[in-house]
């Protein structure tokens, strides 16, 4: 999958034998993932064709028509049984114009031909990646993302002499030789400290909320904080009575919440979680694991058949069990303050007043690097060496054994953290349940990260969304996570591990749709039970 993200040409190989299927189950899964990421220039190689010319052409025609629906319209079919067939393809391929997925055209990226390490200290080093720059021009003041490693700053870019120039006899000799040759440095670029992108510390607050939002949050916090406990039951009862009546001047919106009892929330917070709580992995036996998975599957089936329905408990009063919830006569017309009672760390997430306008400005600014000869930029097609600073030694040693190693330039704001929303759909070959807040591996463009998404669906004609306990098959849902900002359109592949040490499987796919810290996701319950 990492190789496909930087590939210029994708070659599929199929057998022309009549007794074998053209595409097996694994190939079908790969095709669906590749389509989600976006296909570059694609060709089809046919093997095992008959030697007799007439039968060969007929079999080739049958195979091409059978596989036409699986590949792009401009995908061409070539025989590939002999060396002569491959040489003929190479002659034709030299004249073919390559195309890449649209999302790649907005970013600069590089697949490393060589990985080195220098300036090694006790825990960090400088990573050297050498290769051809593709996509867009790259500025030395940009941050870069190294796939599987994270975001880093550049301390230098070296433009090297192209070791594989066309029509060069010297380069033909170099390609035939196994010896390594030092490449000549044409020029070096050093970042400007005043213009270099700043590494954002996620522990620092990025965009504090406006003063109006702060005052609202403070007011809500004061209303939700219980008074000090008293020593007598009478005083405690009087305290509850005082809470039921809002003070003069309280808005209608906050008055609806004023009967909110924090103590009840604390006592029932664990009960409000999903019915099946995950036990400690170390203490789980094989029987416990099987029972846990069975319970999750049963919850998934029940949620799909009876969404949001909850049995009213018999041992706890409903007003205590559902103290967190608010009755809404109309989801569309009811007001809901997006900044109410936010977690303490939530303002650290970056926010936009108008995300689409910001994205348009950022992409226009990136396009300016393509115009003119800027001294801080390296043009596309250059053979360069990136000096990536402050890379942990453990990460660098791992990258040295990885193939391929890719680096991509980050756009403005893409090193900051916010709430990302993806439109995703469960993969048809994945049958296990996928719960909200379950750990998943996200591949978003060139980026990879682990997150626990909350799934939701949009209410019609309103700005609110409804939380989903599971990602159900056959329909699209919105997955929301806190992660580094990226600008759409970007393809998204979601992987899930079946267990400790197991290889991740493709669980869902989709695309990034927006970045919005203030998107309202409501958890709805429909009470079922007998009227007393």
pLDDT of residue 223: 39
Same domain flag for 328 and 257: yes
Range of the domain at 173: 105-202+366-409
Residue 24 located in a structural domain: yes
Same domain flag for 84 and 133: no
Beta bridge partners, 11, equal 43
Same domain flag for 164 and 291: no
- pTM equals 0.78
Phi, psi of 204, deg, nearest 5: -100, 150
Residue 354 located in a structural domain: no
Same domain flag for 423 and 498: yes
**In this structure, what DSSP letter does residue 208 have?**
P
pLDDT of residue 385: 95
Same domain flag for 231 and 182: no
Same domain flag for 333 and 398: no
Residue 352 located in a structural domain: no
* Alpha helix segments (H runs only) across 306-457: 318-321, 355-368, 393-400
Residue 28 located in a structural domain: yes
The two three-digit tokens of residue 9, written as one number: 């040409």
Whichever domain contains 46, its CATH number is 3.40.50.300
Same domain flag for 38 and 121: no
- Longest alpha-carbon distance in the chain: 100
Number of domains in the chain: 4
The CB density around residue 113, as the number of other CB atoms within 10 Å, is 15
**In this structure, what DSSP letter does residue 503 have?**
P
Same domain flag for 164 and 229: no
pLDDT of residue 115: 92
404, 112 in Cβ contact below 8 A? Answer: yes
Same domain flag for 235 and 327: yes
Residue 530 located in a structural domain: no
Beta bridge partners, 182, equal none
Cα separation, 258 vs 453, in Å, equals 30
Same domain flag for 12 and 45: yes
pLDDT averages per 10-residue partition of the chain, 532 residues: 91 80 82 91 90 87 86 88 90 84 92 90 91 93 91 94 70 54 84 75 46 41 38 46 49 45 41 44 61 73 74 80 81 81 83 90 88 85 94 91 91 92 93 92 94 89 86 93 93 88 88 92 80 64
pLDDT of residue 68: 84
Number of H helices, E strands in the chain: 13, 24
- Which H or E run contains 311? strand 309-311
Side-chain-side CA neighbours of residue 304 (13 Å): 15
Rounding to the nearest 10 degrees, give the CA dihedral for residues 458, 461, 464, 467: -30
82, 45 in Cβ contact below 8 A? Answer: no
128, 399 in Cβ contact below 8 A? Answer: no
Cα separation, 48 vs 50, in Å, equals 7
* Alpha helix segments (H runs only) across 132-285: 169-176, 211-224, 233-244, 252-255, 262-268
Same domain flag for 475 and 491: yes
Same domain flag for 467 and 497: yes
Residue 85 located in a structural domain: yes
- Would you say how long the chain is, in residues? 532
The CB density around residue 443, as the number of other CB atoms within 10 Å, is 23
Buried b (16+ CB within 10 A) or exposed e, 13-27: ebebeeeeebeeeee
Beta strands in 18-149 (DSSP E): 41-47, 76-79, 109-111, 114-118, 124-134, 138-139, 143-146
Buried b (16+ CB within 10 A) or exposed e, 123-134: ebbbbbbbbbbb
pLDDT of residue 213: 41
3-state secondary structure 150-180: EEEEEEEEEEECCCCCCCCHHHHHHHHCCCC
Side-chain-side CA neighbours of residue 349 (13 Å): 20
Closest listed residue to residue 187, CA positions, set 327, 321, 382, 30: 382
Phi, psi of 73, deg, nearest 5: -65, -35
pLDDT of residue 168: 53
SS3 25: helix
Residue 7 located in a structural domain: yes
Residues 6+ apart with CB under 8 A from 501: none
Whichever domain contains 196, its CATH number is 2.40.30.10
* Alpha helix segments (H runs only) across 306-354: 318-321
- Of 66, 100, 134, the one marking the end of a domain is 100
């Amino acid at each position: 999958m990492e190789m496909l993200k930087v590939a210029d040409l994708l070659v599929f190989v199929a057998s022309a034998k009549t007794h074998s299927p053209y595409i097996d189950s694994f190939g079908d899964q790969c095709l669906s993932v590749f389509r989600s990421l976006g296909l570059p220039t694609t060709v089809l190689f046919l093997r095992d064709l008959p030697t007799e010319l007439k039968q060969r052409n007929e079999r080739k025609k049958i195979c091409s028509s059978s596989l036409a629906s699986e590949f792009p319209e401009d995908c061409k079919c070539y025989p590939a049984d002999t060396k002569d067939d491959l040489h003929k393809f190479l002659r034709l391929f030299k004249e073919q114009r390559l195309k890449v997925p649209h999302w790649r055209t907005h970013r600069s990226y590089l697949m490393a031909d060589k990985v080195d390490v220098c300036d090694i200290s006790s825990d960090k080093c400088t990573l050297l990646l050498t290769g051809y720059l593709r996509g867009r021009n790259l500025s030395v003041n940009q941050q870069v993302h190294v796939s599987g490693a994270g975001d880093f700053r550049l301390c230098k870019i070296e433009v090297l002499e192209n070791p594989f120039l066309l029509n060069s006899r010297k380069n033909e000799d170099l390609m035939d030789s196994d010896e390594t040759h030092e490449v000549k440095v044409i020029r070096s670029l050093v970042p400007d400290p005043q213009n270099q992108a700043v590494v954002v510390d996620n522990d620092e607050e990025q965009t504090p909320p406006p003063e109006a939002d702060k005052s609202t949050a403070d007011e809500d916090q004061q209303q939700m904080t219980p008074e000090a406990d008293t020593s007598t039951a009478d005083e405690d009862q009087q305290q509850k009575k005082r809470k039921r009546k809002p003070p003069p001047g309280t808005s209608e919106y906050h008055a609806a919440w004023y009967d909110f009892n924090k103590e009840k929330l604390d006592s029932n917070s664990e009960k409000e979680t999903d019915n099946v709580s995950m036990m400690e992995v170390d203490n789980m036996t094989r029987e416990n694991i099987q029972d846990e998975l069975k319970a999750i599957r049963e919850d998934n089936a029940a949620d799909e058949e009876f969404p949001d329905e909850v049995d009213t408990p018999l041992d706890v009063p409903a007003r205590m069990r559902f103290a967190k919830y608010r009755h809404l006569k109309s989801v569309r017309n009811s007001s809901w303050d997006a900044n109410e009672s936010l977690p303490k760390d939530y303002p650290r997430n970056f926010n936009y007043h108008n995300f689409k306008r910001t994205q348009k400005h950022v992409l226009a600014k990136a396009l300016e690097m393509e115009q003119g000869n800027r001294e801080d930029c390296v043009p596309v097609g250059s053979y360069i060496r990136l000096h990536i600073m402050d890379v942990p030694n453990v990460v660098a040693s791992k990258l040295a054994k990885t193939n391929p190693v890719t680096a991509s330039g980050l756009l403005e704001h893409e090193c900051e953290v916010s709430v990302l929303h993806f439109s995703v759909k469960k993969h048809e070959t994945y049958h296990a349940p996928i719960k909200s807040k379950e750990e998943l591996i996200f591949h978003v463009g060139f980026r990879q990260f682990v997150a626990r998404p909350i799934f939701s669906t949009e209410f019609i004609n309103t700005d609110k969304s409804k939380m989903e306990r599971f990602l159900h098959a056959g329909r699209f849902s919105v997955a929301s996570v806190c992660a580094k900002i990226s600008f759409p359109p970007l393809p998204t592949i979601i992987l899930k591990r079946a267990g400790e040490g197991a290889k991740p499987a493709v669980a869902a796919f989709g695309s990034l749709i927006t970045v919005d810290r203030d998107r309202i996701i409501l958890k709805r319950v429909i009470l079922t039970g007998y009227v007393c």
